[in-house]
């Protein structure tokens, strides 16, 4: 983090009102969990601005700025219309790599359409005063349109080449289509910031040009490895079979042909756990924890946790720390197991602490820091 920003954020935190705090054990010492902000309705995605403030999406269709003192802005105008039903709504938010110069940001959302809906991605500029989105345009639409309120995905991650990864779900009712490369259901996609397929995509015969990999169920966590730049994803299984994957160009990750889970009814799904031509997960959970946002840790507050992947859990109501060695998961530590919150997103702040979104009708921004 830039020294000026670090100093400014430290001053803001020192001046902020006293916050609710809870303590939890960990392998790196006791953790302090502080409520930075509350009163957010089902917050879904979080992005830090260069000045240390946070952009937070609320699933019903609002985008807000959150100050380090926890103050919520009025809803930012110009947000696209969303389908705020079931798992749908306003979803992820990410800044353009050149945000400081162009003020572009990107939103994923459940878009209302004739005869259904689908995951879409929009680009817009944040106004200089932070109150409005300007020049919004939809740069991607998942096709085909489906009448479903389930499995929209959807995380947004820029890679080191400046292309945008977009994760999209299988829409639940269309799970077999995750194996069909002629559509965008159950895929990881890679597009240009202005829309259209990115250079370097596999572009295999019969594949939609935006597709990076196929055979995914519902990826709601994604992050780049800080050393390799490889995309890592956290994917919802059915009853069991939540997965960590490293999606590679042109590969098939199996859903619903292979899985470590079963249907919610107890019925077997697919052909088992292995099949030629389909990739194995790096790690899986059974029973499910319902993984959502994910972030690699690169800060200096917990040196022993450098390059760990932190994954929030919805049903599990915990924070999972996965230790890694290259492209291997070497262990799991379950943190904040008594927090009692559905953790929707995980981000490392510019101060080196971890920030979580607690998904609830009175949702919160939480900060995790060493209790010392």
Condensed to tens digits (0 to 9), the pLDDT of residues 65-75 reads 999 899 999 99
Cis preceding-peptide flag for 287 (omega within 30 of 0): yes
At residue 221's C-alpha, the angle toward residues 217 and 225, to 5°, is 120
Instruction: Name the DSSP letter for residue 196.
Output: S
Q: What is the C-alpha separation between 34 and 13, in angstroms, rounded?
A: 12
Q: Please spell the DSSP secondary structure of 249-278, one letter per residue.
A: TT-B--TTTB-S-B-TTS-B-TTBS--TTS
Q: Please spell the DSSP secondary structure of 343-362, one letter per residue.
A: EEEEEE-TTS-EEEEE-STT
In the chain, % of residues over pLDDT 90: 94
Q: Give the pLDDT confidence of 44-68 residue by residue, as tens digits.
A: 999 999 999 999 999 999 999 999 8
Q: Give the pLDDT confidence of 160-208 residue by residue, as tens digits.
A: 999 999 999 999 999 999 999 999 999 999 999 999 999 999 999 999 9
Whether 357 and 6 have beta carbons less than 8 Å apart is answered as no
| Position 372 confidence tier, pLDDT thresholds 50, 70, 90 | confident
| Position 16 confidence tier, pLDDT thresholds 50, 70, 90 | very low
Instruction: Name the DSSP letter for residue 32.
Output: E
With 0-12 CB in 10 A as exposed, 13-18 as middle and 19+ as buried, what is 185?
A: buried
3-state secondary structure of 338: coil
> Residue 213 pLDDT more than 80?
yes
> Residue 9 pLDDT more than 80?
no
- Report the pLDDT averaged over residues 276-291: 98
Q: Please spell the DSSP secondary structure of 61-80, one letter per residue.
A: TEEEEE-TT-PBPPPPBTPP
pLDDT the model gives residue 1: 46
pLDDT the model gives residue 15: 42
pLDDT the model gives residue 19: 58
Q: Give the pLDDT confidence of 114-137 residue by residue, as tens digits.
A: 999 999 999 999 999 999 999 999
Question: Could you confirm whether 151 is annotated as catalytic?
Answer: yes
pTM: 0.94
The structure tokens 């979080």 sit at: 46
pLDDT the model gives residue 68: 82
With 0-12 CB in 10 A as exposed, 13-18 as middle and 19+ as buried, what is 284?
A: buried
CA atoms within 13 A on the CB side of 115: 4
Whether 309 and 324 have beta carbons less than 8 Å apart is answered as yes
Residue 278: both structure tokens together: 């389909």
Whether 40 and 64 have beta carbons less than 8 Å apart is answered as yes
Q: Give the pLDDT confidence of 221-237 residue by residue, as tens digits.
A: 999 999 999 999 999 99
Q: Give the pLDDT confidence of 353-364 residue by residue, as tens digits.
A: 999 999 999 999
| Position 306 confidence tier, pLDDT thresholds 50, 70, 90 | very high
Helix (H) or strand (E) holding 99: helix 99-102
Which among 151, 184, 216, 236 is annotated as catalytic?
A: 151
Calculate the average pLDDT of the chain: 95
Q: Looking at per-residue confidence, does 209 or 16 come out higher?
A: 209
Whether 46 and 54 have beta carbons less than 8 Å apart is answered as yes
**Nearest partner of 153 among 293, 347, 43, 320, judged by Cα:** 293
pLDDT the model gives residue 362: 97
In the chain, % of residues over pLDDT 70: 95
| Position 106 confidence tier, pLDDT thresholds 50, 70, 90 | very high
Whether 165 and 229 have beta carbons less than 8 Å apart is answered as no
């Amino acid at each position: 983090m830039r020294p000026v920003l670090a100093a400014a954020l430290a001053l803001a935190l020192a001046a902020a009102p006293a916050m609710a705090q809870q303590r939890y054990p960990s392998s790196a010492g006791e953790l302090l969990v502080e409520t930075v902000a509350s009163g957010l309705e089902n917050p879904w995605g979080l992005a830090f601005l260069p000045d240390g403030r946070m952009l937070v999406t609320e699933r019903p269709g609002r985008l807000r700025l959150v100050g380090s003192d926890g103050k919520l802005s009025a809803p930012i105008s110009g947000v696209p219309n969303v389908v705020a039903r079931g798992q749908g709504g306003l979803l992820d938010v990410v800044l353009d790599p050149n945000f400081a110069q162009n003020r572009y940001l990107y939103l994923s959302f459940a878009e209302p359409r004739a005869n259904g809906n689908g995951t879409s991605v929009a680009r817009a500029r944040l106004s200089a005063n932070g109150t409005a989105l300007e020049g919004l345009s939809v740069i991607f639409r998942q096709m085909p349109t489906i009448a479903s309120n389930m499995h929209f995905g959807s995380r947004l991650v820029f890679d080191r080449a400046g292309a945008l990864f977009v994760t999209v779900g299988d829409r639940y009712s269309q799970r077999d289509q995750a194996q069909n490369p002629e559509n965008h259901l159950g895929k990881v996609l890679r597009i240009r910031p202005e829309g259209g397929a990115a250079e370097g995509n596999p572009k295999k015969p019969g594949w939609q040009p935006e597709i990076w990999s196929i055979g995914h169920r519902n990826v709601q966590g994604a992050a780049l490895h800080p050393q390799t730049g490889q995309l890592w994803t956290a994917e919802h299984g059915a009853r069991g079979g939540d997965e960590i994957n490293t999606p590679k160009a042109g590969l098939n990750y199996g859903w619903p042909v292979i899985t470590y889970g079963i249907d919610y009814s107890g019925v077997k799904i697919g052909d088992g756990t292995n099949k030629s031509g389909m990739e194995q997960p790096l790690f899986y959970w059974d029973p499910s924890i319902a993984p959502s946002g994910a972030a690699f840790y690169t800060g200096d507050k917990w040196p022993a946790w450098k390059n760990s992947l932190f994954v929030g859990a919805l049903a599990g109501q915990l924070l999972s720390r996965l230790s890694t060695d290259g492209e291997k998961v070497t262990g799991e530590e379950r943190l904040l197991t008594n927090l009692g919150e559905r953790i929707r997103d995980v981000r490392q702040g510019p101060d080196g602490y971890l920030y979580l979104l607690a998904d609830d009708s009175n949702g919160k921004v939480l900060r995790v820091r060493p209790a010392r």
